[in-house]
Chains A and B, each alone.
Chain A
Amino acid sequence: MMSESEAYPLEQFRKTYFEECAELLDVLQANLELLAAGAGGEETLHAIFRAVHSIKGGAGAFGFSSLVAFSHVLEGLLDAMREQKVDATPDVKQLLLRASDALADIVNAARSERVLPAEFASDILTGMEEVLAGASGATAPASAMSGLESANVAVQGERSYRIVFTPHTEMLQKANEPLLLFRQLRKLGGLTVDANTSRLPAFEALEPEAAYLGWTFVLETGAPESAIHEVFEFVEDDCDLSIVLLHEAAEAVSAATAASATEVAPTAVAAAEPSATVAPTPSQSIRVDVDKVDRLVNLVGELVITQAMLTEQGSLLPVDQYPAMIQGIEALAQSARELQESVMAIRAQPVKSVFARMPRVVRDLAATLGKEVKIVTSGEMTEIDKTVIEQLNDPLTHMIRNALDHGIESPDDRVAAGKPRQGTIHLSAAQRSGRIVIEVSDDGRGLNREKVLAKARDRGLVAAGVNPTEEEIDNLIFLPAFSTADVVSNISGRGVGMDVVKRNVQALGGRISVQSRFGAGSRFTMSLPLTLAVVDGMVVSVGKETFIVPLTAIIESLRPQPSDINPVVGRGDVLALRGEYLPLTYLHRSFAIGSAVTDPCQGIVIIVQSEGAGRIGVVVDELLGQQQVVVKSLEANYDAVDGISGATILGNGRVALILDVARVREIGEKSGVRTITPKEKTIEVREDMTHAA
């Protein structure tokens, strides 16, 4: 039974360990930021210590020796700080921040089974050891640090201990593996083991997950007794343990002295709130597989669709004949909506998990660029769906890099401009009318509009004679292949510009804009939906087909007058709208749909923001109504389709595709390229094709 449980569960534990590590590192990072800002109290330090301690504990069990070694020294330093042997001077805080970055690197290396160079972070290690040495020299011998004790091991003679280890029956269920403990023990010295099988029940009463065996060890070791306790550190609460010194007899020590037991409890760590200068009340939480939650979200989605169908059918019933039925349908609609909101709330997470990674981005990059920058975050407890959070990291990182690289000036330039040497990047999140708004602002040099405009003209993005407004100039930087840095640096100019950020944000159903004052800084504002699983959509028809246009993409919709529509040679039709000319894209042509309305004056033009061509008009037959739809994947069983962002199921059970309006124009142009060169002809040809289809 033992041999079977060795390989597979170990891999499971390992995975869980690294998941926990990621959370612990976030906690560590957030609390260190607090500490560095001077905001954290004693509890902050405790939270930091617990995080490092838990990382170290797991690392020991899995034999990640470099991780153990590093976290051990870090833990030592933190412990000394807790005992006020080391003061939290700015230097020490800085050292801790660097140490936490290094720790994250070491964890990542262990996860991906990479070997870091031997000298990795050795300067940080040395730094921490020096601080520690200074502290222990000044005050009492630092016996609390077992790391220093192990250095003394050689001095002490061999002693033998008798260890009686009796796991509680539920110990194995807490992901503890006795075999690993034994291996740890064996590393300390010569070991003899006797197994105690007296608790083993009859076979039919055997619980496969229960621990029945107990063991008695005799350990010959030069290591101190605390080293033995350390081996059992994580199981102390789940077993009966006695460690008795055989030679030099005398004091028998019981494991019940475990003073640090609370530090081990993982729930306490997970619940540790970084913002808590007040002692936090541990919130009750359980760890649930995301797959299970996703399944729940999907099922509720089904329920909502069925409910929508019932409502649709119910509206056909005469109220006076079926009052109870209609009442029931209304009640169902209400509960279904509430259920959906509650389920979505399970998946919601504070944006903190993404924000917490940004200080490091700033630190690393500021060091590379020789700039002095601090990052201030606010609103990090704002909650947003997990699906969105996962997609947030890239655009956010890019925006921060951009602000640092292009926005914030070098310290000397800043002083010359009468600003503090240190630049500030402010990262904030807030919920506004059903959307989340994230802002990245800096107090750097701001956008140089003249330069931006000159460059845009240079690239033919703005025609000569056209004078865009200040706002329009600022937003030119989101156009593809636009980089204002004179020298393309490898930081934010690596071939991806703000256009990629914009595309990422749009893919999330979001919008991005910039406000800037030359010399005073820029502010990028992104507005995102709270979830990707549900979309507010406009149901439109084209021929016999039904599509959903996300409401957030629609600027307005109208039925034009014939005089508003003008053909432009080689460009298709344009729509005159309040003095502007917007290119028209015919959905029935882009998608080759027959028997659709071909005259925009008979149909509806939806004005949307497209990817490359600014605002465009999309011609559809009819608007059928507004509806909240559950987004389904088309890619799961088919492929990504250009111009389509997903699918949904309507109240009648039929599938409707969700349009990616930003891409619709490109499809129109692409299918044009396929055919004949003169554009007027293409249209004719395509019309023919449509009629034939």
Chain B
Amino acid sequence: MQPESQPIGTLGQGNLDGVSVGEHTQQFITFTLGNEEYGIDIMVVREIKGWTETTMIPNAPAHVRGVINLRGVIVPIFDLRARFGVGLTVPTSMHVVIIVAAGSRTVGLLVDTVSDIISVDPKAIRPVPEMGLPSEDQYLDGLVAIEERMVTLVSLAGLFGMATEAKRSFAPDMATTKAA
């Protein structure tokens, strides 16, 4: 990947209509963590539900908030804020869990709120500029400007170390968070 060092402000000239779905547009569900807005491919989202108490998994990394019972299936919940290394979320009933299909697994992502569905022309997606945090590039897919806001697109594959596919494992994540 060749990150171009353009100022972010000039990105995303393509004015995007938030509703219409064009031939070549991709749809994302956007959610917030604090003041930041992120987007995730709508095709991987299975459902959105409110936060419920989880059952802890012993000796799991901090961003693993435990497991819940999703209609008989045991689903792990990941704290996306903790995964991004910016502290633990203190979940309330107002917090939201996005259930996504990550490869063959079903997992939940704990976020603050879900805000919108946006349609994006893939050409309008800009690479994430180098910020001296190489590990973050793996789970950030790109940046896109929507009206006045900037939305960071999250890559599920990068998030769960599935870029390499092979044996799906959360173990490497554990190592990185422990080190952090």
**Cβ-defined contact, B72 with A649, below 8 A:** yes
**Cβ-defined contact, B69 with A592, below 8 A:** no
The yes or no answer to A639 lying at the interface (CB within 8 A) is yes
Stretch of A394-402, A514-522, A569-577, A651-659 at the chain-chain interface = A651-659
Tell me the number of A-to-B contacts counted with CB atoms below 8 Å: 76
Stretch of B15-23, B55-63, B115-123 at the chain-chain interface = B55-63
Would you give the shortest CB distance from B80 to chain A, in whole angstroms? 16
The yes or no answer to A643 lying at the interface (CB within 8 A) is yes
Given contacts A634-B67, A637-B76, A647-B67, contact A654 B58 (CB under 8 A): no
What residues on B are CB-neighbors of A654 within 8 Å? Answer: 53, 55, 69
The yes or no answer to A593 lying at the interface (CB within 8 A) is yes
In the bound assembly, the distance between CA atoms of A532 and B40 in angstroms comes to 38
**Cβ-defined contact, A653 with B76, below 8 A:** no
**Cβ-defined contact, B55 with A639, below 8 A:** no
The yes or no answer to A671 lying at the interface (CB within 8 A) is yes
In the bound assembly, the distance between CA atoms of A641 and B55 in angstroms comes to 14
Q: Quick one: which of A654-672 are within 8 Å of B by CB?
A: 654-657, 667, 671
Stretch of A298-306, A333-341, A415-423 at the chain-chain interface = A298-306
What residues on A are CB-neighbors of B170 within 8 Å? Answer: 638-639
Which single member of A301, A592, A641, A671 contacts B72 (CB below 8 Å)? A301
Would you give the shortest CB distance from B166 to chain A, in whole angstroms? 14
What residues on A are CB-neighbors of B58 within 8 Å? Answer: 590-593, 641, 643-644, 657, 667
**Cβ-defined contact, A641 with B57, below 8 A:** yes
Which single member of B55, B60, B74, B171 contacts A633 (CB below 8 Å)? B74
Which single member of B53, B66, B73 contacts A637 (CB below 8 Å)? B73
In the bound assembly, the distance between CA atoms of A643 and B58 in angstroms comes to 9
What residues on A are CB-neighbors of B54 within 8 Å? Answer: 655
**Cβ-defined contact, A655 with B72, below 8 A:** no
In the bound assembly, the distance between CA atoms of A301 and B64 in angstroms comes to 27
A contact residues, total (Cβ < 8 Å): 30
Specify the chain B residue showing the minimal Cβ separation from A667.
Answer: B59
What residues on A are CB-neighbors of B75 within 8 Å? Answer: 637
What residues on B are CB-neighbors of A657 within 8 Å? Answer: 55, 57-58
What residues on B are CB-neighbors of A671 within 8 Å? Answer: 59
What residues on A are CB-neighbors of B60 within 8 Å? Answer: 641
In the bound assembly, the distance between CA atoms of A174 and B58 in angstroms comes to 52
**Cβ-defined contact, A592 with B59, below 8 A:** yes
The yes or no answer to A87 lying at the interface (CB within 8 A) is no
**Cβ-defined contact, B69 with A637, below 8 A:** no
What residues on A are CB-neighbors of B56 within 8 Å? Answer: 545, 593
10 closest A-B pairs by CB? A591-B58, A655-B55, A638-B76, A637-B105, A302-B72, A647-B74, A649-B69, A655-B67, A655-B69, A632-B74
Q: A638-B107, A639-B170 are in contact. List 7 more A-B contacts (CB 8 A).
A: A590-B58, A637-B106, A641-B58, A644-B57, A654-B69, A657-B58, A667-B58
